[in-house]
Structures are given as structure tokens and as C-alpha cells.
């Protein structure tokens, strides 16, 4: 019974976040009209090629925390295109499809701090396959991950613009 309020709160957070980004039939990219009637609203600052730089985990720092390309031998790239397509490369292409971005806020309790977040919804057809939360730090650093990355908890993966 002690975990019931915590579980209910987590389910509410998930429901809010699940509906925070939706495909839009509006042919705009940051209020600029584009020639594609099936377009979605996207954050034009996200467009580009992003190289994975590090992942900070929620345990003590050490030889593999943060994880980096140098200490893991892994190479990861995210590519977001203006025509709402993405490619996720981990040594080779592991996923591709379409995406949209969303923006929202979450206030866990009345009178508490309101968290502002941006989200990326990844689609295969019309089905959402994943939702990541991101924060752009300047124009060259993308903090990406689940669990409101960059807003609450650990920052997740850090990518730098190539």
C-alpha cells in the first residue's frame, strides 16, 4: 500500500508524457510553411547529424561511467532531417522512420516546481515506437534520453553536432 501513491504518480506522469507529442497535419516547421502536406511540427534546431559523446549513469563515476566512445568502442549517430525522417546508427543503421517533437510541462503537486520539457516521438508508420525527452544546450549539444532527460534525473546520452 505504501507504493500505491508512487505508482499512481508514475502512471500519471507516463500518461501525460505519452500524449505530449502528436503528429500534426499542419505543414509547418517552427511556423515556416513547407511543401509537404503530411509534415509534422518539428524543432528545426534539432535538424542535423549528432554524434554520441557520453552517457552518464546513476551510479558512482568510474572507468566506464560516464560511458564514451573511447571507453566502450561504440559509435552512435542520430540524424534528424527537415523532411521529418530520422536515422539511428549504432555501427550500422539500427532504426529509421519519421519523428515529431513536442513541448510540455509537468507539475507533480500543486504549488511544486513545474518542469518544462521537449520530447521526440519516433514513428513507424502511424505507430509511436519510442518517446525520448531532450534538451538542447546551445546549438551544438543534445541531451537525449527517457525519463525527462535534462529535466529530472540523470541526463541520459549526450550528443554533439557534427
Would you state the cell numbers that stand for residue 147, as one nine-digit string?
Answer: 525519463
The string of pLDDT tens digits covering residues 70-127 is 999 999 999 999 999 999 999 888 899 999 999 888 887 888 888 888 889 999 988 9
| Predicted pLDDT at 39 | 43
Answer yes or no: are the C-beta atoms of 77 and 50 closer than 8 Å.
yes
**Is residue 64 within 8 Å of residue 71, measured between CB atoms?**
yes
Helix (H, G, I), strand (E, B) or coil at 93: strand
| Cα atoms in the 13 Å half-sphere on the side-chain side of 44 | 7
The CB-side HSE value for 130 (13 A sphere, CA atoms) comes to 14
Tally of domains in the chain: 1
Query: Average model confidence (pLDDT) for the chain?
Result: 75
Other C-beta atoms closer than 10 Å to the C-beta of 75 total 11
Structural domain harbouring 98: 4-161
State percent of the chain over pLDDT 90. Answer: 32
Residue 72: strand, helix, or coil: helix
Amino acid at each position: 500500500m505504501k507504493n500505491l501513491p508512487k505508482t499512481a504518480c508514475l502512471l500519471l506522469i507516463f500518461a501525460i508524457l505519452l500524449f505530449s507529442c502528436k503528429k500534426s497535419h499542419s505543414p509547418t516547421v517552427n511556423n515556416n510553411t513547407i511543401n509537404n502536406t503530411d509534415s509534422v511540427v518539428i524543432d528545426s534546431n534539432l535538424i542535423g547529424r549528432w554524434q554520441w559523446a557520453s552517457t552518464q549513469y546513476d551510479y558512482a563515476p568510474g572507468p566506464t561511467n560516464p560511458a564514451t566512445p573511447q571507453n566502450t568502442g561504440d559509435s552512435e549517430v542520430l540524424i534528424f532531417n527537415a523532411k521529418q525522417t530520422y536515422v539511428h546508427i549504432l555501427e550500422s543503421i539500427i532504426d529509421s522512420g519519421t519523428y515529431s517533437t513536442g513541448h510540455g510541462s509537468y507539475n507533480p503537486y500543486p504549488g511544486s516546481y513545474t518542469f518544462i520539457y521537449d520530447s521526440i516521438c519516433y514513428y513507424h508508420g502511424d505507430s509511436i515506437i519510442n518517446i525520448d525527452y531532450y534538451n538542447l544546450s546551445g546549438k551544438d549539444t543534445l541531451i537525449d534520453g527517457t525519463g525527462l532527460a535534462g529535466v529530472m534525473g540523470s541526463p541520459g546520452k549526450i550528443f554533439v553536432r557534427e
